[in-house]
Amino acid sequence: QKEVEQDPGPLSVPEGAIVSLNCTYSNSAFQYFMWYRQYSRKGPELLMYTYSSGNKEDGRFTAQVDKSSKYISLFIRDSQPSDSATYLCAMSQGAQKLVFGQGTRLTINP
Amino acid sequence: DAGVIQSPRHEVTEMGQEVTLRCKPISGHDYLFWYRQTMMRGLELLIYFNNNVPIDDSGMPEDRFSAKMPNASFSTLKIQPSEPRDSAVYFCASSAGLRPNTIYFGEGSWLTVV
């Protein structure tokens, strides 16, 4: 079993829809939780960062961490075609060794 | 700042050849990471440096892989000899201190070994 599980998709939704992306993990020592966005043929870029449990909101994006369930989520409201990308969850125990999910490929259809 | 700069962006090489990938981290960043991304295994940490010193190379797949950081502005990842299963995208990333929200990735080096 992988330390971090993420459904690779692909996921296709119409423009304006609410998107929900999720990851589960097995290592209860993880404290840092991140979501990265990766456009085709580009490097990952940090989208959201959360330390420990709780919610964090940034514009149309909301990240949730539920440590009791070992489950993290990313919600995208009012999705746009420019949100089409692969979304990777990542987490770590210490700040330096990130463990990534497989990534979910998301397409927003105009 | 120009961000993390990697070269070459694309490389096609024959099995058995030596491959050298290069990385220039963001100025002032004291951590440098090398990752590999494949369809099967996703994004995996190979090795990371702190202040030019290798700290953890437990992700390096085998002895054919080596990495160096001779100074704060340059690092190399070398594969010798290369094999088809090394075909992947290799990313370099750097960060300022042990804060995961300061990790920035380069655009990657796309390696194909035929």
Q: Dump pLDDT digits (tens) for B29-75.
A: 999 999 999 988 899 999 999 999 999 999 998 899 999 999 999 99
Residue type, A39: Y
Residues of B whose CB is below 8 A from A97: 45, 48, 56
Interchain proximity B42–A43, CB inside 8 Å: no
Residue type, B87: S
The two structure tokens encoding residue B23: 């990385």
Interchain proximity B105–A97, CB inside 8 Å: no
**C-alpha span between A100 and A88 (Å, rounded):** 7
The answer to whether residue B83 scores a pLDDT higher than 90 is yes
Interchain proximity A97–B56, CB inside 8 Å: yes
Reported as a single tens digit per residue, the pLDDT across A25-61 is 999 999 999 999 999 999 999 999 998 888 999 999 9
Facing B48 at nearest CB: one of A42, A45, A96: A96
Residue with tokens 């490097």, as numbered in its chain: A43
Closest CA to A4 of A95, A82, A71, A96: A71
Interchain proximity B56–A49, CB inside 8 Å: no
**C-alpha span between B54 and B56 (Å, rounded):** 6
Contact residues, B window 70-89, toward A, CB-based 8 Å cutoff: none
Give the gap in angstroms from C-alpha A18 to the nearest C-alpha of chain B: 25
Cα dist from A70 to A23, A74, A85, A88, B19, whole Å: 8, 14, 25, 16, 40
Q: How far apart are the first and last CA of chain B?
A: 36
Q: What is the pLDDT of residue B32?
A: 96
Q: Which residue of B103, B104, B107, B110 is the best one to mutate when testing the A interface, meaning the one whose CB has the most A CBs within 10 A?
A: B103
Half-sphere exposure of A75 (CA within 13 A, CB side): 14
Reported as a single tens digit per residue, the pLDDT across A73-83 is 999 999 999 99
State whether residue B49 sits within 8 Å of chain A by CB: no
